[in-house]
Structure 1
Amino acid sequence: MKMNAVGMIETKGLVGAIEAVDAMVKAANVTLVGMEKIGGGYVSVFVQGEVGAVKAALDAGTAAAKKVGEVVSIHIIPRPHEETETLIPRGFVKSRK
């Protein structure tokens, strides 16, 4: 599936990640693509949409997550290459051990 942009937020703790997702999908026209529990309490969430919408979603998600937990990293990739897209988790993924 070709994406216009992908946005990523990594949090320490599940509550912050869930709060970020809720804020992102409410704030902009983006779709939740996946969530990955990395281990050590770290969780990454991924959204897709148009570049402007993903930027707005990341801003809202970051602010919301910071209210209830710790944001480790945020990033947006406009027009990701199709090979990059294969690295993005789809659905809910547990730790890759």
Structure 2
Amino acid sequence: MPAAVGTIETLGFPGVLAAADAMVKAGAVTLVKFDRNESGRFMVSVRGKISEVKVAVDAGLEAVEKTHGAEITGYYIIPNPHENVDTVLPIEYTSQVEQFRSF
């Protein structure tokens, strides 16, 4: 069964740091992607079971809202990504994150 993907994008680094921390603490998910986008935007993506990703994203959004000066610019959950999405986008489990895989 494919793992769901949850992503949060914030304006500013403190917000994405708070989101990433809250996400991995709230659900049995693995952080698979962190990146800096344009104009001071940052994104973090997690993978896991759909129910766990939903809990993790909700916790991440709440953490961003509590972070001074942070702003949510976007978020989404893909419950069952197509294998082509997995292959093309950098959201797969890499050797760097495999040791932290929670399921």
**Residue 30 of structure 1 pairs with residue 32 of structure 2:** no
Find the structure with the greater CA-based Rg.
2
1:54 corresponds to which residue? 53
More strand, by proportion: 1
Deviation at 1:4, TM superposition (A): 1.6
**1:82 deviation in Å?**
1.4
Task: Provide the C-alpha distance between the structure 1 equivalents of 2:91 and 2:5, rounded to a whole number of angstroms.
Answer: 11
Asked if structure 2 preserves the Cα contact closer than 8 Å seen for 1:10 and 1:74, the reply is yes
CA deviation string 1:40-90 (max 9, x = no partner): 000111000000000000000000011111011110001101111221356
Per the alignment, residue 19 of structure 1 pairs with: 18
Q: Is the 8 A contact 1:5 1:78 kept in 2?
A: yes
Per the alignment, in what secondary structure is the counterpart of residue 72 of structure 1?
A: strand
Alignment length, in residue pairs?
Answer: 90
Q: Distance in 2 between the 1:40 and 1:3 partners?
A: 32
Q: Which runs of 5+ in 1 are unaligned?
A: 92-97
1:74 aligns with 2:75: yes
Aligned to 1:88: 90
Percentage of matched positions with identical amino acids: 43
CA RMSD of aligned residues (A): 1.6
TM-score, with structure 2 as normaliser: 0.81
CA contact (8 A) 1:7 1:76 kept: yes
Distance in 2 between the 1:3 and 1:57 partners?
17
